[in-house]
Structure 1
Amino acid sequence: MLMYNLKDIFDISILQEIQDRFCESTGFSAVTVDYTGRPITRYSNFSSFCKLVRKNEKHLQLCHRSDAYGGIEAVRKGESHIYICHAGLVDMAVPIVLNGQYLGAIMAGQVKMKENELSELDNIMEFTKGILEDEEIRKAYEDIPVVTREKVVAAAKLMYVVSNYIVEKGAISLMQEKLSSKNRELIEEIKARENLEKALKDSEMKALQLQIKPHFMFNVLDNIASLAMIENAERTRELVYLFAEIMRYIVKNADKIVKVNEEIDEIEKYLKIQAIRFGGKINYNIDIDENIKDIGIPSMIIQPFVENSVIHGIEKKEGNGSIEVLGYSFEENIIFEVRDDGVGMTKHRLKEVMESFEAKTIVGKSTGLGIANVNKRIMYTYGSEYKVSIKSSPNIGTTVIIKIPRIFT
């Protein structure tokens, strides 16, 4: 059986980025550990108490052991595990499992809960006696905030969705390596052009979708982190729930055909996040004909253009702006339009964007990468005659038109 290692499978810098953004948006501490409880990322937002405790080599080893036990219990349960660590704090462990192998866990928490809520939690290890005898450590412990069980559970659910995304990314990476090896064998042994082209096309499809998802995820995390800095997290919790639902949708429906109404529901959640973030600067309207809501389309082919309207259309505009998402039947096709009255594009910039659709490699802003990938996915799914078209004028706005055949039901 092939044994995997976290550092060999995943980009640690991306793990660190996800971990840091999670802590910024929730206020929790976090670290990613291997199956032995040893950290493979830097500590994010660690409390003064835990930093002081881990300066003692004996206590550090107990922390590693506590993290290891927490991760093992989480993988045994098949879900996030919330527990009390050896130092008396509430932690959560989210397992990272690839192809049935437990690789490690994302550990988060370092908070306190009310006494009446602690009775529901397990003590992962026996409490370390004498840990609070040091005055500096005791004071740091007293400074740790008390949070509600609801907030801890919500954060655990969010991190579980993120963990699934990480595992999916690693699985796709492994699959691409296998496909690449298979393609070389086909070229050398049988020169079967038709089979080779199909394998390459499938591999590229997954790579394009993989590029879209972290791009979208990091933008949403930026929004949550920004809002968390300026308010006391009452609305932020709503944003976290919305974001968790979006991430579940992405993980669940990667490479799948979904119903139009499912795709539109996720777009509405994204626009709701942006409307809260900008405090009324963005208005939006979604109008989808009833007769197409149950028709199947590839997931995530509309959202990148909505995101583009927000970031490059309305956000850069002085004053308020609006976004409209339309969907309707036309002859044997379905048409989706994403309209905004933002800053628009010059003819030169519009030409650059359209030319990027044809390029084999895309150089430029991440949003350009996302929309060019959608165009390629549509062509791969439906044929080269189906492409995205864009109309735009400076200071007037931009309209994106997506045309696909009405073939999936």
Structure 2
Amino acid sequence: MNSLKDLKFSDIIDINTLKDIQDKLAKIVIFSAVTTDIHGVPVCNENNFTPFCKLIRSSPKGCKNCISCDSQAGFMAMKDKKPRVYKCHTGLIDCAAPIIVNDIYVGAVLGGQVLLKGQQTRDSIDLNWISKNYELPLEKLKEAAERIEIVESDYLQNCVSFYTFLANYIAEMGLHTLTQEKLLKESEEKIKLEQYAKKMQLKTIQAQINPHFLFNTLNTIASMALIENAPTTEELIYNLSDLLRYSLRNLEEFPKLKDEITNIKRYLFIQALRYSDRISYEINIDESLNEYRIPTMILQPLVENSLVHGLETKKEGGKITINSTSNSKKI
């Protein structure tokens, strides 16, 4: 179901269930009844229809007009948001109760098929016109018309009450169905979120395992360098290990200046070994500034750019100097 505006009867109630309900009620009451969609098309078999109306619907043109009439009556009842009594295209008195679910009109319950005492008689029906227009035998129409009930207005009120009850019952079932579907959808989304969270948690664990493996490996190499009497190699590996650990684990937005400088020293130590005597560095930071906090990794790109764009391309190399003054509190 894409949206509430696309609601169909099959979305809000099982058609077989509706048919069973309507059939059972038809055995209790004598009112004719048909449940239609917004286009006036019956969604299940009609109940207690008069022989006259069955005959009219046996004609293709008559059936088409009945559907159109039911559609218009249901729509008008929906606009009024209450049941309405009306005269059908053959002149009979019918009733319509709208089925509204979450303010969306999905159909109507209709019926009646009677004449109103004191206002109509069977002679009120133009059987000749109906016979000619719908191509139905006049004698059959006369025979069926004799069986049309002429009722008091109280009968119509009872009809309206019954159709309203059935329409509201269908609407409540529809609302229950939509609520269940919403809860099911929310439950499915919750499960997906939980699965995603577990997946991300697993990735986080994996991300933690990989650095551990890397650091352990670097430490092992450093230990081997020590055993093989290669102190410079040992120091290089430890600096690289600490540099990586700081980059991966430093989650503070504003670490202390001294921690950032320590990390810069590791970086420059590695680069100085890489470029041998072409690159040197000097760091002079006033100790009174050590506890000041700065944005994380703000110095690293500056030093790296100085190296890559300033000194790397020069044959004679150069020197990187980082100074600070305690007065201005700047580096």
- Distance (whole Å) between structure 2 residues aligned to residue 36 and residue 75 of structure 1: 13
Question: Which is helix-richer, 1 or 2?
Answer: 2
User: Are the structure 2 counterparts of residues 22 and 151 from structure 1 closer, same or farther at C-alpha, using a change threshold of 3 Å?
Assistant: farther
The match for 1:84 is: 87
| AA matched with 1:189 | L
- Distance (whole Å) between structure 1 residues aligned to residue 110 and residue 147 of structure 2: 21
Q: State whether residues 32 and 106 of structure 1, in contact with CA within 8 Å, keep that contact through their aligned partners in structure 2.
A: yes
Which of 44, 52, 62 is matched with 1:41 structurally?
Answer: 44
Shift of 1:36: 0.9
DSSP-derived class of the 1:88 partner: coil
Q: State whether residues 12 and 173 of structure 2, in contact with CA within 8 Å, keep that contact through their aligned partners in structure 1.
A: no
Shift of 1:71: 0.4
Asked whether 1:6 is paired with 2:30, we answer: no
Q: State whether residues 96 and 163 of structure 2, in contact with CA within 8 Å, keep that contact through their aligned partners in structure 1.
A: no
Which of 109, 115, 119 is matched with 1:106 structurally?
Answer: 109
DSSP-derived class of the 1:44 partner: coil
User: Are the structure 2 counterparts of residues 110 and 23 from structure 1 closer, same or farther at C-alpha, using a change threshold of 3 Å?
Assistant: farther
- Distance (whole Å) between structure 2 residues aligned to residue 135 and residue 117 of structure 1: 21
Asked whether 1:140 is paired with 2:144, we answer: yes
Q: State whether residues 91 and 109 of structure 1, in contact with CA within 8 Å, keep that contact through their aligned partners in structure 2.
A: yes
- Distance (whole Å) between structure 2 residues aligned to residue 178 and residue 128 of structure 1: 52
- Distance (whole Å) between structure 1 residues aligned to residue 120 and residue 51 of structure 2: 24
The match for 1:215 is: none
Shift of 1:153: 0.7
Q: State whether residues 93 and 108 of structure 1, in contact with CA within 8 Å, keep that contact through their aligned partners in structure 2.
A: yes
Instruction: Give the alignment's TM-score, normalised by structure 2.
Output: 0.51
| AA matched with 1:162 | L
Instruction: Give the alignment's TM-score, normalised by structure 1.
Output: 0.42
Q: State whether residues 28 and 111 of structure 1, in contact with CA within 8 Å, keep that contact through their aligned partners in structure 2.
A: no
Q: State whether residues 31 and 48 of structure 2, in contact with CA within 8 Å, keep that contact through their aligned partners in structure 1.
A: yes
Q: State whether residues 38 and 74 of structure 2, in contact with CA within 8 Å, keep that contact through their aligned partners in structure 1.
A: yes
Asked whether 1:189 is paired with 2:189, we answer: no
The match for 1:327 is: none
- Deviation readout 1:306-339 (Å, 9 max, x if unpaired): xxxxxxxxxxxxxxxxxxxxxxxxxxxxxxxxxx
- Distance (whole Å) between structure 1 residues aligned to residue 115 and residue 189 of structure 2: 56
Asked whether 1:19 is paired with 2:22, we answer: yes
- Distance (whole Å) between structure 1 residues aligned to residue 155 and residue 139 of structure 2: 30
Question: Which is strand-richer, 1 or 2?
Answer: 1
The match for 1:51 is: 54
- Deviation readout 1:57-86 (Å, 9 max, x if unpaired): 111111111111110111111111111111
DSSP-derived class of the 1:103 partner: strand
DSSP-derived class of the 2:78 partner: helix
Asked whether 1:161 is paired with 2:165, we answer: yes
List runs of 5+ in structure 1 lacking aligned partners: 119-125, 192-409
Q: Give the fraction of aligned pairs with identical amino acids, expressed as a percent.
A: 35
Q: State whether residues 111 and 145 of structure 1, in contact with CA within 8 Å, keep that contact through their aligned partners in structure 2.
A: yes
- Distance (whole Å) between structure 1 residues aligned to residue 144 and residue 168 of structure 2: 34
DSSP-derived class of the 2:33 partner: strand
- Distance (whole Å) between structure 2 residues aligned to residue 45 and residue 83 of structure 1: 19
Shift of 1:18: 2.7
- Distance (whole Å) between structure 2 residues aligned to residue 100 and residue 107 of structure 1: 19
- Distance (whole Å) between structure 2 residues aligned to residue 69 and residue 190 of structure 1: 49
Q: Which has the larger radius of gyration?
A: 2
**CA RMSD, 1 decimal:** 2.4
| AA matched with 1:67 | D
Shift of 1:179: 0.9
Shift of 1:116: 3.3
- Deviation readout 1:107-146 (Å, 9 max, x if unpaired): 111122213389xxxxxxx989711561111221121122
DSSP-derived class of the 1:115 partner: coil
Which of 150, 154, 171 is matched with 1:150 structurally?
Answer: 154
- Distance (whole Å) between structure 2 residues aligned to residue 140 and residue 63 of structure 1: 17
Q: State whether residues 23 and 47 of structure 2, in contact with CA within 8 Å, keep that contact through their aligned partners in structure 1.
A: yes
DSSP-derived class of the 2:183 partner: helix
- Distance (whole Å) between structure 1 residues aligned to residue 176 and residue 38 of structure 2: 22
- Deviation readout 1:7-61 (Å, 9 max, x if unpaired): 2221112222232233333312111111111111112111111111111111111
The match for 1:130 is: 129
Q: State whether residues 109 and 166 of structure 2, in contact with CA within 8 Å, keep that contact through their aligned partners in structure 1.
A: no
The match for 1:398 is: none
User: Are the structure 2 counterparts of residues 110 and 46 from structure 1 closer, same or farther at C-alpha, using a change threshold of 3 Å?
Assistant: same
User: Are the structure 2 counterparts of residues 110 and 16 from structure 1 closer, same or farther at C-alpha, using a change threshold of 3 Å?
Assistant: same
User: Are the structure 2 counterparts of residues 140 and 162 from structure 1 closer, same or farther at C-alpha, using a change threshold of 3 Å?
Assistant: same
